[in-house]
Amino acid sequence: MSDSRQLIGMESRRQFYVAGFVGASIAYIFTVLAFTGSFNVLHWTVFAVVFFAVFFGFEKLIVWADATEPEQS
pLDDT digits (tens, 9 = 90+) for 2-56: 455 555 565 787 888 889 999 999 999 999 999 999 999 999 999 999 999 998 8
Q: Cα separation of 5 and 62, whole Å?
A: 12
Within its chain, how far is the Cα of 45 from the centroid?
Answer: 15
Please compute, for residue 43, the number of CA atoms within 13 A of its CA located in the half-sphere on the CB side: 9
Identify the H or E element spanning 52. Answer: helix 41-68
Model-wide pTM > 0.85? no
